[in-house]
Chain A
Amino acid sequence: MQRIDQLTSLVLVAVGLIVIAMTSRITYTSFTDDPGPRLFPYLGAAVLILSGLSIFVKACRDKPGSAIPVDRALMLRGAMLFALMGLYALAMKLVGFYPATPVAVFALYWMIAGASRRLWRGIVLGLATTLFIYLLFTLGLQSYLPEASLF
């Protein structure tokens, strides 16, 4: 973790400095003894910078060679599933909940199930999930589900 911690600490310190710079630009009207809306972000940024420095010092003291190798296959699998979730979000915005959900559930099932996937099981799961959400939110709770913005 040594290198990852060093990198993390530098990012945290950088974020803290950016927050301080942004906070200094906040304009406000002060009244009696109120320290104003800048104080709290300054405090948060100060804690972040101090914590970042503490992580950096600890990382430098750690024995080298304790770095965890980056598993690219693991990251790719995670990125693929995350991208599918992003597509689902986009699809709900564009075509609405009803067309997007059965397809997304099927795709998620297909990806997660791996070798044990079956076409009809994925279709049933997609339709059953969509029906369940419709019954729960639309009929049961009279809530609105995402509607299409394209048409």
Chain B
Amino acid sequence: MIHAFIDLVHPLTFVIILGASILGVILGAIPGLSGGLGVALLLPVTFGMEAATGLAMLVAIWVGGVSGAMVGSILLGIPGSPSAIATCFDGYPMTRKGQAVKALGAAITASFLGTFFSILIAAWLSPIIADLALKLGPWEYFSLGFCAIALVASLSRDNVGKGMAAAALGLLAACVGFAPIDGTARFSFGNMYLSSGFDLIAMMLGLFALKQIVMDFARGTRAVQKVEARNISGFGVTLQEFRDNAWNLVRSFGIGIWIGFLPGMGAALSNMVAYAQAKSASKHPEKFGKGCIDGVFASEVSNNASVGGSVIPMIALGIPGDGTTAILLGGLMIHGIQPGPLLFTNNPEIVYTVFATALLSAVMVLVVQFFGMRLFPAILKVPYHYLYPPIVVLSFVGVFVNTGGAYIFAMLLGFAALGILMDLVKLPISPFILAFILGPMLESNLRKGFTYSTDGAWAFLTRPISAGLLAIAVFSILWPYLKPLLIRRRLSHG
């Protein structure tokens, strides 16, 4: 870890991390964009860098993005990303009451606490989990991947079928190209460009960046709101307010790190769960939604704690905790680094670079946001017509640089069209991407599981951890269907 810190304080690396942290904060603050988009956009830029430096840049954008998302929530009532939706509930009313300084200060300090301590815990826990993970076989890995996909798919609570359909489409998309183990060509129709499968970066940029731009434009470019930036000075939060919220901060931190740890459930979910818990446990729940600082603390400490939480499965198991860690995982693989339990043995410098960068970025973001509190409103005034054209160009150039062929433009546009279509019919994108990324790992372990055991498919059900994970997966899929039946039955009996 110390060596990783020493490497990071190299002037060029330090400047890259500082710049990436600022860029992350800016992208996080702009509604519709996010640090995750920044990670996807700048992934191709890392091709020419050393793996550790490139990864440090991506991690810094991610940390900055999660933290910066609160700016739009508090000043405009528009969340910069889904991770800051709950921050709107009380942050914006505080701004309208003239307490923007207090709301920003609470959010900035809570963000710092969430990121910093969750990363420290991740650094401590990840090697332990990696040791345990080495004892797992292909049966457990298949079941873990399947469980992750099922958990993400089941988040579409109003229609789990749609979540599972999106996941199934992702699994089928992962089947295009050569099969793992025996290299049989599938669904490539003799096309040499399809024989190596779909490109992950084209998928990411198509589904996130281009789709977002087309949908925003189609729905009408939002008018830029006037933002009042005067009277902002210091953090504006008293020590007493921290003391009053000590338990709220600890509970929200715990919720954030746990939800971040569960594959596929990131900051977008944790901020709302923590907010709901803070409100239900509060002595004055009636103040929530009207400008209560407790709500801002809960939302911001939890969404940033999810950063550390989602690093644990990414580093220890090679399973992304959320959409952004899925892209980071892609970044590792592009640099020839295989995430998973052996990462601690094969590439320890990469592991500690991730932790050290996240810690350094948390401190940098704290300083940048402290001094940038007066500038944030000006950044939010940049109209979309200046932002979106360069993002389109960066997306096209990014996928070209990755593959070196113009055919990739068709793939990029194809995924943008798929993203728009999925948005229109309300098929969630997260299970699709998670299934696509986990697809080859799932298939490889599924086939190995059959080959290594004389019991065939039974081995997946007779090994306790594998069976437990499959049970969780099945339960999470069936629960939304069973719950109404149980409630109806209870009502009819009572």
Contact = CB atoms under 8 A, between A and B. Distances in A.
Task: Give the 3 A-B CB pairs with smallest separation, nearest first.
Answer: A78-B218, A54-B161, A89-B409
A19 B210 CA distance: 28
Interface of B: 45, 47-48, 159-162, 164-165, 167-169, 171-172, 175, 179, 181-182, 184, 186-187, 210, 213-215, 217-221, 383-386, 388-390, 392-394, 396-397, 400-401, 404, 406, 409-410, 412-413, 416-417, 420, 424-427, 439, 442-443, 446-447, 450-451, 456
Interface in A14-34: 15-16, 19, 22-23, 26-29, 31-34
Contacts of A114: 221, 385
A99 B187 CA distance: 36
A16 B169 CA distance: 9
Interface in A22-52: 22-23, 26-29, 31-37, 39-41, 43-45, 47-48, 50-52
A142 B187 CA distance: 35
A55 B48 CA distance: 45
A97 B184 contact: no
9 contacts: A15-B172, A22-B187, A33-B451, A54-B160, A82-B413, A92-B409, A117-B385, A137-B401, A146-B400
Given A15-B169, A44-B168, A81-B214, 4 more contacts: A44-B175, A112-B385, A113-B385, A114-B385
A111 B167 contact: no
A74 B219 contact: yes
A82 B214 contact: yes
Interface string A39-82: 11101110110111011001000000000000000110110011
Interface in A112-144: 112-114, 116-117, 125-126, 129-130, 132-133, 136-137, 140-144
Contacts of A78: 214-215, 217-218, 420
A90 to B, nearest CB: 8
Nearest to B159: A58
Q: How large is the interface on A (under 10, 10 to 19, 20 to 34, 35 or more residues)?
A: 35 or more
A126 B214 CA distance: 19
B390 A132 contact: yes
Given A108-B392, A112-B388, A116-B383, A28 B182 contact: yes
Given A26-B184, A112-B388, A47 B410 contact: no
Interface of A: 1, 4-5, 8-9, 12, 15-16, 19, 22-23, 26-29, 31-37, 39-41, 43-45, 47-48, 50-52, 54-55, 58, 74-75, 77-78, 81-82, 85-86, 88-89, 92-93, 97, 101, 104-105, 108-109, 111-114, 116-117, 125-126, 129-130, 132-133, 136-137, 140-146, 149
A50 B164 contact: yes
Contacts, number: 196
Contact of A4 (B187, B416, B425): B425
B476 to A, nearest CB: 14
A143 B217 contact: no
Contact of A109 (B159, B182, B389, B410): B389
B158 to A, nearest CB: 9
Contacts of B172: 15, 19, 41, 44-45, 48
Given A55-B159, A113-B383, A116-B385, A33 B396 contact: no
Q: What is the interface of chain B mostly: helix, strand, loop, or mixed?
A: helix
Contacts of B182: 28-29, 31, 34, 36-37
Given A4-B425, A47-B171, A34 B217 contact: no
Given A1-B426, A51-B162, A85-B413, A109 B386 contact: yes
- Of A22, A40, A41, the most chain B CB neighbours within 10 A belong to A40
A85 B210 contact: yes
A133 B406 CA distance: 17
Contacts of A113: 221, 383, 385
B162 A55 contact: yes
A109 B416 CA distance: 19
A52 to B, nearest CB: 6
B384 A112 contact: yes
Contacts of B447: 34-36, 39-40
Contacts of B210: 85
Nearest to A37: B179
Contacts of A34: 181-182, 447, 450-451
A137 B398 CA distance: 9
Given A82-B417, A142-B48, A47 B397 contact: no
A50 B163 CA distance: 12
B451 A40 contact: no
B217 to A, nearest CB: 5
Given A40-B171, A85-B210, A116-B383, A129 B400 contact: no
Given A54-B160, A112-B384, A129-B393, A32 B47 contact: no
A88 B394 contact: no
